[in-house]
Chains A and B, each alone.
Chain A
Amino acid sequence: MAKKTIIPKKTPMSEQSAEERIHNYNEVPFGYTEEQAIGEAKRCLECAKPLCMAGCPVNINIPGFIKLVAEGDFRGAVNLIKETNALPAITGRVCPQETQCEGVCALCKKFEPVGVGRLERFVADWEAAQGALPVPPLPPATGKKVAVVGSGPAGLTVAADLARLGHHVTIFEALHEAGGVLVYGIPEFRLPKAIVKREVEYVCSLGVKLVKDFVVGNAATLDELMEEFDAIFLGTGAGLPWFLGIPGENLGGVYSANEYLTRSNLMKAYRFPEYDTPIARGQRVITIGGGNVAMDSARTALRLGAKESIIVYRRSRDEMPARAEEIHHAEQEGIIFNLLTTPVAFHGTNGRVGEVECLRNELGEPDASGRRRPVPIKDSNFRIATDIVVIAVGQSPSPLIPKTTPDLKVAKGGVVTVDEKTMKTSKKGVFAGGDVATGGATVILAMGQAKIASKAIDEYLKTGVW
C-alpha cells in the first residue's frame, strides 16, 4: 500500500451549538457535505484485513463502501451497505460505533478512527435526497403468509426481506405509529421522525400490510394468528420498564423513562397544548441511569425547559453504557453528572415528588458484567431537591404474549428463547429477534438477528421443515 499522510482527526461534523439546541427539538448534527464525506473517506487505509468489518455486528463491507464514497459513487456505496443493513440512515446515527466498527479501526492506534457512522449516515441521507426509492421488481407471489409482530427495526427488517422474496407480510403493531423505539423512545433531536417514517413507507411500498392499534396477545393470540399465517416473527422489543422498588416511587412526578419519552416523542407532549398529552415540566429534573435512555431523558428535560438536568448514576463515568457521542452532547448541553450515587428513596409532599434521597458509592471488585461493582458507603445519605424524576435503569420484554402462549419458552428476565442460528423459538412456526430475544440491546443487533430470521423463515416456508 502506498504510504499516505494521515489526517489525525475525523472530519468534524457541524452541529447546532449547545446554547441554541437546548431550546429546540431539531437534530443536533447537520451531517457531512459531499466534500467532507469524500475527504473523510480518503482517510481510510483500505486495510487488507479490515477489522472494522469484523467489528460491525452485521459485517457491512465497510472498506468497500468507503472506497466508493471516496470515488464519489454514493449510489454504489449505499447499495453496498444495504446488502447487509436495511436502515443505514438510522444506524449511522444511533450505533455505538466506538465499541463496534470505529472502535477497532486500524487508525485507532495513533489517530481518531475513520468516521464510519458519519459516512454511513451521509450516503443514506444522500439517497433520501434523491427522492423516494423506486420499488424493486418483486418476484411472483409465493402465496405464503407471514405475520410480523412489532414494527421496530427488527420487525421492519424481516418484513422488507420477506416481501422482497415474494411472501405476503402483515405487520401487527400495538401503537398508532410504526417504528418501535425509533418513534416512541429515541427523541427527534437525535433521530428525526421523518427518517423513520420514510423507512416505514418504503417497507409498505413493497406490499407489506401494516395493521396498527393491534395488540397481539389481546386482540389475537399467537395460536389464533397461526390459523391464518404460515409463520410468525416476534419483534416485540423490550418494552417493560424497570422500577427501583424503593419507597416513594409512586409519587406524582416520578416517571419511567418509557413514559417520559413516550409522552414527549410519540405523543408530542413537547408541543402541549397544541398536542393534548401533557408532561410535567420542572426547574430541576433528575434522571437515574447511565445509558442512552438516560441521556435521552436528561436532554429531553432541558428542552422541556428544565434549568438543571441531573444524571444520577451508581457507577463511574467509565462504566456508563451510553454511546460516547451522547455523553459528549449531554456534557456540552450542561447536564450535571452525579456519579457513584444510588437513590434509596423518594420524598414528597401532597403526592408530588420533592427530593431524592441517595447514598454515595465507592467502586469495589468487578461484578458479573466485568465492571467494578458500586458499593454504598454507610451513612452517606444525602438528599437532592427535585421537581421530576425519570427512572432509566433498564427494561425487559413484556410478558403479554408469553402469558397467552404457554408453549413459547421464555428464559429469565422474560427473554424469549431462540436458536441463534435460525431465531426459531420453542413454538413451531414462530421466530423471534431483536430486543425480545436479547433483552434491551441495540438497533443494529436487532437488525442482525432479523436478517438471520428472514433467511430461516424463507427456508421454513419453502420446505416446511422445522
Chain B
Amino acid sequence: MYKILKKQVLSDLVTLMEVSAPQVTRKAQAGQFVIVRAYEESERIPLTIADFDRAAESVTLVIQQVGKSTMQMCQMNAGDEFATVAGPLGHPTEIENYGTVVCVGGGVGIAPVYPIARALKEAGNHVISIIGARNQSLLFWEDKMRAVSDELIVCTDDGSYKRKALVTEPLKEFLETRKEIRHIWAIGPAIMMKFVATTTKPYDAPTTVSLNTIMIDGTGMCGGCRVLTTDGAQFVCVDGPEFDAHKVDWDVMMQRMQFYREEEKLAVEQWKHQCQLAMVG
C-alpha cells in the first residue's frame, strides 16, 4: 500500500498528492509516469510524475478530476493509502543543453511540464514557459514555473487572469521572433497538443508532446494505449509517453480516448448517487 503523505488542492479540478512509493523514487526521472489504482475495485490510471523526492521516497502526483476514479482519488486524504503505485514507467525526457527551448503547459499539463522545465533549466537551457488554463481558478504553479523559467507567459482562455489567449498564440509569436528556439515541449489536453503541433509545424520546430491515452497495465502488455504515428502503431506506455508531435495522428488518438465516454458518465452518475445515499443514510 502507498500512503498519501500530503494533499493540496491546486484548483477546482486539480489536486496534488504526495505519495510514499520507495520503489518508484529510486529511479524516477522527468517525463516518466506511474500507474495508480486507488482502491481494490479501481481502474489503473496513468499519472505523470510531477516531482519526486528521493530522500523522502515520495512522488508528487497532480490529479485532474475527469471520471469516477480520479474524483475518488481527489477525495482521499493524507494518511489514506492507494492500492497501487507502479513505476517509473515509460522513457524519461531527453534532457540536454539545446540552447533556447519552450515549455508549454495547459491545464493539468502544467504539472508534468514542470519537472521537464526544471531539468532543462538545470541543463543550462534558456527556458521560455507558457502556461494556460480555461480560467483563473484552474491555473496553478505559476510561482513554481517562474522559478525554473527565464521567461514566463501566463494566459487564460477567458481572460480572467493575465493574458486572454490560447497557449498557441504566444507560442506562434515566439516562433516568429525568436529564431534561436531549438525545441518545444507541450503537455496538456489532446486538443491543445494537436494545435501546438500545427502551430510549430510550419517552422519545422522540433516538438515533443507527452501523451496520456487510456492505459491498463502500463508495461506494453495490452496495446490499449496505442496511438497511430507515421512510424506505425506505437504503445504510449513503453514507446512513449513522449512522441514527436508532428508524427502523431491526433484524430485517431482523440477518438480512441473518447471510446468509454458513456461508461464513464454512467460510473460517475452511479457513484454520485451512492455518495448522496451515504450522506442521507
Instruction: Spell out A's residues near B (CB within 8 Å).
Output: 174-176, 184, 211-215, 218-220, 239-241, 243, 245, 249-253, 255-256, 258-259, 262-263, 266-268, 272-278, 280, 350-352, 398-400
Which one of B88, B227, B232, B233 lies within 8 Å of A218 (CB-CB)? B88
Q: Across the interface, do A400 and B238 meet the contact criterion of CB distance under 8 Å?
A: yes
Q: Across the interface, do A239 and B219 meet the contact criterion of CB distance under 8 Å?
A: yes
Q: Across the interface, do B86 and A174 meet the contact criterion of CB distance under 8 Å?
A: yes
Report the bound CA distance from A259 to B260 in whole Å: 14
Which one of B35, B89, B233 lies within 8 Å of A250 (CB-CB)? B233
Q: Across the interface, do B85 and A213 meet the contact criterion of CB distance under 8 Å?
A: yes
Q: Known contacts A273-B266, A276-B267; is A218 also within 8 Å of B217 by CB?
A: no
Which one of B42, B221, B233, B255 lies within 8 Å of A239 (CB-CB)? B221
Q: Across the interface, do A215 and B89 meet the contact criterion of CB distance under 8 Å?
A: yes
User: Chain B's nearest CB lies how many Å from the CB of A464?
Assistant: 28
Q: Which residue of B lies closest to A241 (CB)?
A: B223
Q: Which chain B residues (223-274) contact chain A, with CB distance < 8 Å? A: 223-224, 226-228, 232-233, 238, 249, 251-252, 255-256, 258-260, 263-264, 266-267, 270-271
The 10 A-B residue pairs with the shortest CB-CB distance, nearest first, are: A351-B255, A278-B263, A259-B222, A213-B86, A252-B259, A239-B221, A256-B223, A259-B224, A276-B43, A176-B84
Q: Which residue of A lies closest to B35 (CB)?
A: A213
Which one of B27, B86, B87, B252 lies within 8 Å of A176 (CB-CB)? B86
Which one of A215, A268, A276 lies within 8 Å of B219 (CB-CB)? A215
Judged by a CB distance under 8 angstroms, whether B198 is at the interface is: no
Chain A residues with CB under 8 A of B217: 174-175, 262
Which one of B27, B43, B220 lies within 8 Å of A219 (CB-CB)? B27
Q: Which residue of B lies closest to A398 (CB)?
A: B220
Indicate with 1 or 0, residue by residue over B35-52, a CB within 8 angstroms of chain A CB atoms.
101000111100000000
Chain A residues with CB under 8 A of B86: 174, 176, 213-215, 219
Q: Across the interface, do B263 and A213 meet the contact criterion of CB distance under 8 Å?
A: no
Q: Interface on chain B toward A: helix, strand, loop, or mixed SS?
A: mixed
Judged by a CB distance under 8 angstroms, whether B200 is at the interface is: no
User: Chain A's nearest CB lies how many Å from the CB of B178?
Assistant: 36
Q: Known contacts A213-B85, A262-B216; is A277 also within 8 Å of B221 by CB?
A: no
Which one of A243, A272, A351 lies within 8 Å of B252 (CB-CB)? A351
- How many residues of chain B are within 8 Å of chain A by beta carbon? 48
Chain A residues with CB under 8 A of B263: 272-273, 278
Q: Across the interface, do B224 and A276 meet the contact criterion of CB distance under 8 Å?
A: no
Q: Across the interface, do B222 and A277 meet the contact criterion of CB distance under 8 Å?
A: no
Q: Across the interface, do B222 and A256 meet the contact criterion of CB distance under 8 Å?
A: yes
Chain A residues with CB under 8 A of B221: 184, 239-241, 258, 262, 398
Which one of B24, B41, B222 lies within 8 Å of A241 (CB-CB)? B222
Chain B residues with CB under 8 A of A251: 255
Chain A residues with CB under 8 A of B259: 252-253, 280, 351-352
Q: Across the interface, do B260 and A278 meet the contact criterion of CB distance under 8 Å?
A: yes
Which one of B23, B27, B69, B255 lies within 8 Å of A213 (CB-CB)? B23
Name 27 interchain pairs, CB-CB below 8 A, sorted by A. Answer: A174-B217, A176-B84, A176-B86, A218-B89, A219-B27, A219-B87, A220-B27, A239-B219, A239-B220, A241-B221, A241-B223, A243-B233, A252-B259, A258-B222, A258-B223, A268-B41, A273-B266, A273-B267, A274-B41, A278-B263, A278-B267, A351-B252, A352-B255, A398-B221, A398-B238, A399-B220, A400-B219
User: Chain A's nearest CB lies how many Å from the CB of B99?
Assistant: 30
User: Chain A's nearest CB lies how many Å from the CB of B200?
Assistant: 24
Judged by a CB distance under 8 angstroms, whether B68 is at the interface is: yes
Which one of B85, B220, B227, B267 lies within 8 Å of A240 (CB-CB)? B220
Q: Across the interface, do B219 and A250 meet the contact criterion of CB distance under 8 Å?
A: no
Chain B residues with CB under 8 A of A272: 263, 267
Most A C-beta atoms less than 10 A away, residue of B26, B83, B223, B233: B223
Report the bound CA distance from A272 to B41 in whole Å: 9
Q: Across the interface, do A250 and B220 meet the contact criterion of CB distance under 8 Å?
A: no
Chain B residues with CB under 8 A of A263: 216
Chain B residues with CB under 8 A of A255: 224
Chain B residues with CB under 8 A of A212: 84
Additional A-B contact list (5), CB under 8 Å, known A278-B260, A400-B220? A218-B219, A219-B27, A220-B27, A274-B41, A351-B255
Q: Across the interface, do B255 and A350 meet the contact criterion of CB distance under 8 Å?
A: yes
Q: Which chain B residues (54-105) contact chain A, with CB distance < 8 Å? A: 68-69, 83-89
Report the bound CA distance from A352 to B84 in whole Å: 31
User: Chain A's nearest CB lies how many Å from the CB of B68?
Assistant: 6
Report the bound CA distance from A353 to B217 in whole Å: 23
Q: Known contacts A219-B27, A250-B233; is A259 also within 8 Å of B43 by CB?
A: no
Q: Known contacts A274-B41, A276-B43; is A174 also within 8 Å of B219 by CB?
A: yes
Report the bound CA distance from A256 to B85 in whole Å: 24
Report the bound CA distance from A252 to B23 in whole Å: 34
Report the bound CA distance from A240 to B134 in whole Å: 39
